[in-house]
Amino acid sequence: MYTFEVCAKCGHVGRDYYVDKIFAVRAESAKEAASIVRNFPRVKHHHKDAIRYVIRIDEARYWEIRQTNNVDPYFLCHNIQEQRLMCTITPICEKNDDYEETEEVTRKRFFDGKKAIKNPKKYYKHNYYEERIAA
Convert the pLDDT of each residue in 26-44 to its tens digit. Answer: 999 999 999 999 999 999 9
- Phi, psi of 38, rounded to the nearest 5 degrees: -60, -30
Convert the pLDDT of each residue in 81-119 to its tens digit. Answer: 888 888 887 788 877 555 555 566 667 788 888 888 888
Q: Domain ranges in the chain?
A: 2-93
Convert the pLDDT of each residue in 35-69 to its tens digit. Answer: 999 999 999 988 889 999 999 999 999 999 999 99
pTM across the whole model: 0.67
What Rg, from alpha-carbon coordinates, does the chain have? 26
For residues 35 and 22, give the distance between their C-alpha atoms in angstroms, rounded to a whole number. 14
Which pLDDT does position 96 carry in this prediction? Answer: 58
21-33: b (≥16 Cβ within 10 Å) or e: bbbbbebeebeeb
- Could you tell me if 88 and 72 are in contact, meaning their C-beta atoms sit under 8 angstroms apart? no
Helix, strand, coil fractions of the chain, as percent rounded to 5:
30, 25, 45
